[in-house]
Chains A and B, each alone.
Chain A
Amino acid sequence: MELIQLRDIYKTYSIGEMAVPVLKGVSLTVAQGELVALMGASGSGKSTLMNILGCLDRPSSGEYWLDGHEISRLDADQRAQVRNRMLGFVFQSFNLLPRTSALENVAMPLSYTADHLSEREARKRAREILCRVGLEDRLDHEPSRLSGGQQQRVAIARALVNSPSILLADEPTGNLDSRTSEEVLSMFQQLNENDGITIILVTHDMQVARHARRVIRIHDGLIMDGAFVSPEGQCDPSVSISAGAGQ
């Protein structure tokens, strides 16, 4: 089943009087339970596409179907609800609240959830998820007392606390050394395989993209490669960009 379907998405920014097209007709699909890497050089429209996929931004035109709903016409509050319920974000710079314990950082998104959990339930859930990412002995530590890898694991726990169906990771290993990167990436793989969470990794690093089963390449606002689930269900990440190949 197709969880995400983008149809002919355009995004144009206007800087002063000039219209700058960033996405020039992007279509792609992501199926339930996939681990996809979104690759592209800086300025390729990768971040814009990521923002649209993450419901942080609206396309100028085109359709975005998420789990059977058309998302692109929702207003800001409705999109906030979709982000809270369906999406989890992992950022390059972790974005943890400073001077706040790991437990409270993880429980934070729960306070914006429509079906309210009691304080105790929220903490219980946050604790369980922190245990799953292997931080059961770091519950009360503030971010400043955690290593980079540990901080990113707290961030992953925070993304998972509302049991989202999609995890969006924006350069999740950009601030980590290669060993911890490997740890974090294998955690993504585990989550994908064991829990069936759909994961979209945004990266420009081939080493990271290799962990994905499919690589979507974007160049200059157009998808170059891997826009749709291939029949064999897997795409070879080492395939080079075929020049001029549109979608």
Chain B
Amino acid sequence: MKAYHVIRNSMKGLRRNPMRAMLTTLGIIIGVGAVIAMMEIGTGSSSAIQKTISSMGANVLLVLPGTAASGGVSFGSGSIATLTPADGEAILRECPSVLNAAPVVRARTQVVYGNRNWVPSGIYGTTPAFLDVRDWNNLFEGEPFTDRDVLNANKVCLLGQTLVRELFQGESPIGKEIRVKNVLFRVVGVLGSKGANMMGHDQDDILLAPWTTIKYRVTGSALSNTNQSTSSGSAASMNTLSDLYPGGQPGLYPEKSEAQAINNPMPVRFTNIDQILTSAASTGEIESAIEQIKEVLRERHRIRDGESDDFNIRDMTEMTKTLTSTTTLMTNLLLCVAMISLVVGGVGIMNIMLVSVTERTREIGLRMAVGARARDILRQFLVEAVVLCLVGGAMGILLGHGGSYFVWLFLRWPVETSPGAIAAAVLVSAGVGIAFGFYPAWKASRMDPIEALRYE
């Protein structure tokens, strides 16, 4: 018996009771529809959650200078000055897995406005890319400083919410001038609130300024973690003009003579920075980003094979783990829901097929009497079940897709079409048809034609 005949016979069988066929497929339609909608809404939510978690800094990689050691005594990370702003640019340029890189110069000193003062936990000299890396582009008010401000070492700054609260007490700080170690900074913007990080460290207690300004106007030394204002407060020499404009050089490196440049292509003294803040393109690319940064920096720092790195790279393992486990949890949850609804749909199919086989006993007997073999009957009922399931599956895909579209349209939940789920739905609905259609079909094929013909 040709496949064509089998399918035709099955279609005829189904068409003879379209209402029942419809109701039977309803189970599968709802099942598959729920799966598709859940998968689409779920993947959408999952990637939204991922985005939220990575905005907490899960993709951030911190490059720190290496460790100095003398006579077996290590001075801890950041104790030698090996990183330059050019390293940051090279990382951004040469590492495809790195999305952004911002050099950071740190200072810790007193900030004064009017008759109030405060020592913020972080005074960071950086570039506007810092805001991208830390996902901090939504300013509370004002504008961020620009790359031009960085080049010109302009005295502008962004303030964190805590600092604003302490210094301004409800006043708008935009356009006001504050003093950082007796250097006047104009406030151009206020950062959005981020609250404390996972360690309880207040992230809003911060001042951001161009790194050139911090480096050349506020502090000359690397990694000044001590409160410099205590030592500078009483010193009259700090108020001289030369201290307001130290170095007086707009360039990053001291000028070289021609002969110097030929004899020694390396800069005599480079401008060091305290850390480079980079972000990987995605959570999955953190590993490769670390590798690439290592390679670039070892090459730039002329480190031979076998020598140890003169820098450290830190990633946010804890957060990354949270992210991965959240995603896995979501996926498994969706899978469970999918399985349950499909099994329920399959039981519906089996139920109706059993009813159908009983109801059509005489037809089965007749078909056997005119020459249908057991396997012809088996195939007919099996194909009927599979056709029901596939049609239900197709309609379910449309329903689910439409459903998730409406969810997106009215609730604005994030939704992502997942072709994998659609393919799986088709396969699973065919599978459900075979699995749950087999028993009724087998029962039909085992009937005795004499009994079946006599059945009332």
Q: Which residues from chain A sit less than 8 Å from chain B, CB to CB?
A: 51, 54, 56-57, 76-77, 80-81, 83-85, 89, 91, 95, 97-100, 104, 108-109, 111-113, 116, 119, 158, 162
Report B437 CB to chain A, min CB distance, Å.
20
A89 touches B370 (CB 8 A): yes
A57 touches B450 (CB 8 A): yes
Report A104 CB to chain B, min CB distance, Å.
7
- Chain B residues closer than 8 Å to A98, beta-carbon distance: 16
Q: Which of B357-379 contact A (CB under 8 A)?
A: 362-363, 365-376
A83 touches B374 (CB 8 A): no
Q: Which of B2, B12, B373, B453 contacts A80 (CB 8 A)?
A: B373
- Chain B residues closer than 8 Å to A104, beta-carbon distance: 12
Q: Which of A77, A83, A112, A162 has the most CB of B within 10 A?
A: A112
- Given A56-B449, A111-B5, A116-B2, also A83-B370 (CB < 8 A): yes
- Chain A residues closer than 8 Å to B1, beta-carbon distance: 111-112
- Given A99-B16, A100-B12, also A112-B450 (CB < 8 A): no
Q: Which of A89, A100, A108, A119 has the most CB of B within 10 A?
A: A108
- Chain B residues closer than 8 Å to A158, beta-carbon distance: 370
A105 CA / B368 CA spacing, docked (Å): 14
How many A-B pairs have beta carbons closer than 8 Å: the answer is 67
- Given A56-B449, A111-B9, also A97-B363 (CB < 8 A): yes
Report A122 CB to chain B, min CB distance, Å.
9
A56 CA / B372 CA spacing, docked (Å): 12
A112 touches B370 (CB 8 A): yes
Residue of B nearest to A122 (CB): B5
B contact residues, range:
20 to 34
A119 CA / B9 CA spacing, docked (Å): 12
Report A89 CB to chain B, min CB distance, Å.
5
A51 touches B450 (CB 8 A): yes
B5 touches A89 (CB 8 A): no
- Chain B residues closer than 8 Å to A84, beta-carbon distance: 370-371
A91 CA / B452 CA spacing, docked (Å): 13
A95 touches B16 (CB 8 A): no
- Given A57-B450, A91-B453, A95-B366, also A112-B12 (CB < 8 A): no
- Chain A residues closer than 8 Å to B366, beta-carbon distance: 91, 95, 97
B373 touches A77 (CB 8 A): yes
- Chain B residues closer than 8 Å to A116, beta-carbon distance: 2, 5
- Chain A residues closer than 8 Å to B367, beta-carbon distance: 108, 112
Query: Which A-B residue pairs are the 6 nearest by beta carbons?
Result: A84-B371, A109-B370, A112-B371, A99-B16, A111-B5, A80-B373
B372 touches A80 (CB 8 A): yes
- Chain B residues closer than 8 Å to A80, beta-carbon distance: 368, 371-374
A135 CA / B372 CA spacing, docked (Å): 26
Sample 16 A-B pairs with CB under 8 A, ordered by A number. A56-B449, A77-B373, A77-B374, A80-B368, A81-B373, A83-B369, A85-B371, A89-B369, A91-B453, A97-B363, A99-B15, A99-B17, A100-B16, A111-B9, A112-B367, A119-B4
